Chains A and B, each alone.
Chain A
Amino acid sequence: MTSTVESRSEPAGRGAPSGLVAAARAPGWVRHALLVAGLAVALWLPNGLYPAVAVDILCWALFAVAVDLLLGFTGLLSFGHAAFWGVSAYATGLVAIHLGLPLPAAVLAGALAAAVLAVPIGYLAVRRTGIYFAMVTLAFAQLVYYVANEWRSVTRGENGLQGVPRELFGLDLTDDYYFYYAILPIVLLGLAGAWRIVHSPFGRVLVGIRDNPARARALGYPVHRYKLTVFVLSGFVAGLGGGLFAVSHRFVSLEVLHWTTSGKAVIVVVLGGIGTLWGGVLGAGIVVRLEDWLSFSGFEAIGLVTGGIFVVVVLLFRRGIWGTASALARRWWGRRD
């Protein structure tokens, strides 16, 4: 989406907006320094923020990266990713409550459930592209929402699923501070997995499909199958985030499946920068922190702020924070060479 869009609005040959290209161009030491800095921030985070907020940021970072895998690197806007986030939240909660599995196993089970759900939804949705893909995924997510709402014996309807245990091999993780460090490895694994997908030959084909689907097909790539595969992988990553979210809140409500949750994930990605992968992590940090601050200060109309962010970013700031920063950095290096 980004590249075709920007190339129409800007002179040809200038400013490749995708983070993929930016990462390939930035000198190695810059990328390593950024990685070390990112890890340092991740390790420090619960000391600088409320640990509960830091935990939410981790979960939403996974969610955003999952959405960006589709939007930024395959050119598919999924407006229904709450289905995978939410189904995994319920599945993780149910597994943890009824089977008593430890945290990583429960979250893995939830993410697998999300991936399984992504197969039929993705199979149908990849038959359309562009704006239709967004509408179709939104509609299927609403279907999942209605089913969860109706299937009270399992989901407990509007009361929600309560008492999800927070336990890891007998360790008590009720303190958010320790919980953060317990789930950080899972989150980093998920993020590394997403990075690996993007930088694999498979990921290169995805970008090729994004930029020129007809040519990718002419070269013999089964476009639908590639899209379906990344859709399922994305569902899995979103599911990891949703499962961790369920355990961290020890409670799952229908809100995890609502379309506003899907929309929030898209906001996070667009604000961070479409097609930048790490932009989504940054966007998650900003949006979660901002919403926490707003609800803490008693401001009720959060939609005014998130909606406003959306309008401003889409109108003036389409590269997002990460995309803008890397474009500036690129220009600076370009001048020095």
Chain B
Amino acid sequence: MAVQSAPETMEQVFKWEGSLDDLKGLVSERAITGETMLLNMGPHHPSTHGVLRVLLELDGEEIVTCLPDVGFLHTGIEKTIESKTYEKGVTLTDRMDYLAPMSNNMGYCLAVEKLVGLEVPYRAQIMRVICLELTRLNSHLVWLGTHAIDMGAMSVFLYAFREREMILKMFETLSGQRLMGSYMRPGGVWRDFPEGFLQTLESFLEYFQPKIDDYERLLTKNPLWIDRTQGIGVIEPEQAMAWGISGPSLRGSGVNWDLRKTMPYSSYEQFDFNVPVGEHGDVYDRYLVRILEMRESVKIIQQALKKLPAKGPFRSENRKFVPPPRAELGQSMEAVIHHFKLWTEGFSAPDEEVFVAIESPRGELGVYLHGTGGTKPRRIHFKTPSFVHISSLPIMTQGHLIADLVAIIGSVDVVLGDCDR
């Protein structure tokens, strides 16, 4: 695949001059006269990846209008965080994008750290990178399995989940939880890597690399797969940027934009990796981009293992924000005071606003955090990639068949918990 550079000239930064009528969210006149058929798909449909409801206007089997309807999984996480201290908010962020909980933790923690000006030790940053890339593998494996099963390729699902299970087991040794570990905390991570974790990780990476070839052997040159995916759900780069599409879905359209490269956080600038970019912006290119990303993630973890200092703090030692370890409590009165204060009242953050964005497996996860001057946030807002991608389904699906809709939903990799929050 051609690897292009990031938008570097005026000509490459596209503008979009479209009509607002496309955004109206209405079915066409023909539906009212009965010429076309209205069909409800979801919210309980196996290929809508959760509780997504889509109202379709069909001419035969062809989609005329596609109106996504979300909100079935709206749990008010943003509102609930307003009544929690900053440290306790971490557990709620796990539950948004339940396939990439560590990415959410990371976005939230970065926002809190930026708001209060808390430094993260180098070792903790590298540990975070390892966790983030493992999460990316985890999320991409679920995407690969479900995307393939949507189009009738059953076996990929079984293989992908076999490997994912190993990642989840590693998460369990890290945090005690397979899925929602809340392992990252403001200032670093919850605890040091347990004994034997790095060896398990190394042997997993060795085991995993050839498995990516296995998946590719099943799909990449499979004529049925190519028939179902090439030229489907094309999104032009200018459209993609205008609609705010991000992550692998944007790179599938040929825009070289990866926040890990362009606006690095957590020491990503020290890693050497490629950003895979597609050309056609169709389902197939988005598939290739994600497969290549898995290989890059493996590379990043391997580099991180080399960079990881053997000794050092895994969490900031600024006791105004980070509670002391329990061992200190028996010896230091000050530690007792900090422990008590941080676990009851929490730390205060200024009445200011910050915005941070990270590259989650699905795309740009933006976190807007506004403090009150007290110990609880005034407002937190997550701009989640799934939300944006679902909102742009109408432009991707026009003129395709229902069966292609299933492929398109799978290819932009939406998680409804991420969308509705």
Q: Are chains A and B native binding partners rather than an unrelated pairing? A: no
Residues of B with Cβ closer than 8 Å to A?
Answer: none
Residues of A with Cβ closer than 8 Å to B?
Answer: none
